[in-house]
Structure 1
Amino acid sequence: MDLGDIHPAENSFKIMLYKARYHANRCMQNSFKYAKEQWDKSHKLPDFKVEDLVLVSTPSFNNIEGPKKLKASFEGPFMRRALHGPNAVQIELTDELMNRHPAFSLSLIKPYSSSDKDFFPLRNKTPHEIPPLEEGEEKKIVKVLKEKRTRNKKER
């Protein structure tokens, strides 16, 4: 026995359900397409090659000595040894980072740009100019600090 024989509104309900499902599917496809376009617009795959020099992000490293505030954000330069797919690289580590696993995500590395004369022969360093002092101008000391307060303690 067919349900259309039992309830006369079943056929119109099927059509309504089909249209709702079609509309929801179309909205999801448009949403996926828009999200992919936005992602592709702001993210590009880095063009690293093997043997390029890179810097490694260090905030997650626990084996670097010294206060956390004074640690450099990036350590390096290190040479890339291999690519592991589009999202991971293998790096040749040195010094205190030797105990780490050498594979890193691309989000943790950035390209190294050196200011070496060998890498950039046309770059000229301009010396910093010291502004000239006018002769005859006397320097006057405005205030001498005899004591210094540090967290409610006097130091002399």
Structure 2
Amino acid sequence: MDWVTALPPSGDKKYNSCLVIVDRYSKTPISLPCHKDDTAMDTGLLLWSRVISHIGLFKNIISDGDPKFTSALWTKFHRFLGLSYHSLQHITLKQMG
């Protein structure tokens, strides 16, 4: 998961960013309109209402080390849903030894 930001405002709600999710199994991309200043709570609710409620729970989530994904709220969200979270920065550093 990651954000595409600095987009021109669009739609009734003036979305200016997009949350991009790629299913590693099917390679299916999911793109969700959002706002650059959305909080971790906004992101969790967006994920729940637009993705998890339609395709089911993920086993794990991989993203960059964005503060929204490393916040206490996001950690509780993962624990509640039984998901594991992996930061791309952590994986890269670990693999590089």
Q: TM-score, normalised by structure 1?
A: 0.17
Report which of the two structures shows the higher radius of gyration computed on alpha carbons: 1
Larger helix share, 1 or 2 = 2
Using CA pairs below 8 Å that are at least 6 residues apart, which structure has the higher relative contact order? Answer: 2
